[in-house]
Amino acid sequence: MTNGSLAQSYLIKARSRLKILSVLLDDDNYSDVIREAQEIVELALKAMLRQVGIEPPHVHDVGALLRQHRHRFASDVAAQVDTLAAASAWLRKEREFSFYGDIDFIPTEQYTRIEAQRAIDDAQLAVTVATAAADSVAPPTEPDDRTH
């Protein structure tokens, strides 16, 4: 499987998961909105990296790597890198708390609709920008047999 096809697979998964967020929000299940949004952002950012030939590490926040390689993206995509990296960092920080909580942190009681909406907005932006990044990457050219 090529980086491009794996990147496309990540985008398909991210787009599909976006649909889940409204159901969770309608159920006032804010902590699960946060968790699912984190996974969407992670998939979208890793798709972006793969599209430009970067193998993303097996970590949940690749924002720093995205910043490091912003020059590989079209200017309209590169302009969103800092916003995406900030979203990734915030959602990564909330990843475990939103799912498992802690002895003094009950996820179903701690998150608000405002935080859930922020997570949805971040996830939608990540998918939109990742899609634009995929659309702006030129497909590989076939070798010209006449040059041999």
Q: For 137, which DSSP code?
A: S
Within-domain flag for 13: no
Its domain, for residue 76, covers 29-137
Within-domain flag for 126: yes
pLDDT, tens digit (0-9, with 9 covering 90-100), for 81-104? 999 999 999 999 999 999 999 999
Within-domain flag for 2: no
Selection from 127, 124, 118, 122 nearest residue 46 by Cα: 127
The answer, as to whether pTM is greater than 0.85, is yes
Taking the C-alpha atoms of residue 17 and residue 89, their distance in angstroms, rounded to an integer, is 19
71 token code pair: 């020059």
Within-domain flag for 5: no
Residue, of 144 and 42, whose pLDDT is higher: 42
Q: What number of other Cβ atoms are within 10 A of residue 28's Cβ?
A: 12
pLDDT band at 3 (very low <50, low <70, confident <90, very high): low
Which amino acid, residue 67? R
* Total structural domains within the chain: 1
Contacts of 2 (CB under 8 A, 6+ apart): none
Within-domain flag for 82: yes
Within-domain flag for 8: no
